[in-house]
Amino acid sequence: MLPDAQPSAFGGFVNESLGLLAQESPFHLQALAAALGHRRITIAIKGEPVQCLFPGPQPWVGSASEASEVTVETTIETLAGILDGDDLLARALIDDRLIIRGSCDDVLAVDDALRAWGHGALRSPSFSLLCERFKSHYAGAKHARVEFKW
């Protein structure tokens, strides 16, 4: 059974990004869901833990409640740079600004999911507006940590 879906402000951004993929690039949402399988994803940003699951064709986003197989950590600044195209996932990993911990299979699944999400975001006309709202909301939090647990 899924917990009640009451995402935080950041959870709203995550939920909306997945909704945009569903509407504007459904192939990439399906690729993301296939890559993650039934892995539980926890994302914590500025003390706002959010969990995502793909129990069926539609993702579920809500408050965090269980452990995850993979942890991904970065800063708002790094995430904003990646979203803007000013930074690369690979460069952030090499420079330890993006840290992924977990089993090899789970880390590879997360990598596939992030790439599917990124490719879908690039093809979603509404995604740039969502990114601007995200960056505006967290503008004062340049060095806050964002933690993703997949």
Domain assignment of residue 137, given as a range = 9-149
Q: The CATH number of the domain where 53 resides is what? A: 3.30.1050.10
Distance in angstroms (rounded) separating the CA atoms of residues 44 and 24: 26
pLDDT on residue 47:
60
pLDDT on residue 3:
47
pLDDT on residue 45:
66
Q: Is residue 121 part of a domain?
A: yes
- Residue-wise pLDDT tens digits, 47-102: 667 777 777 777 888 777 777 877 777 777 777 788 778 888 889 889 988 777 78
Contacts of residue 126, defined as CB under 8 A and 6 or more positions apart, other chains included, come to 20, 23, 24
Q: Is residue 97 part of a domain?
A: yes
Average pLDDT over residues 2-13: 64
In the predicted structure, residue 27 carries a pLDDT above the cut 80: yes
Q: Is residue 4 part of a domain?
A: no
In the predicted structure, residue 42 carries a pLDDT above the cut 60: yes
Q: Is residue 2 part of a domain?
A: no
pLDDT on residue 1:
38
- Residue-wise pLDDT tens digits, 106-128: 889 888 988 898 889 888 889 88
pLDDT on residue 150:
46
Number of structural domains (the chain) is 1
Q: Is residue 130 part of a domain?
A: yes
Distance in angstroms (rounded) separating the CA atoms of residues 131 and 126: 9
In the predicted structure, residue 149 carries a pLDDT above the cut 70: no
What six digits make up the tokens of 66?
A: 């269980």
Q: Nearest CA to 24 among 135, 129, 110?
A: 129
In the predicted structure, residue 34 carries a pLDDT above the cut 80: yes
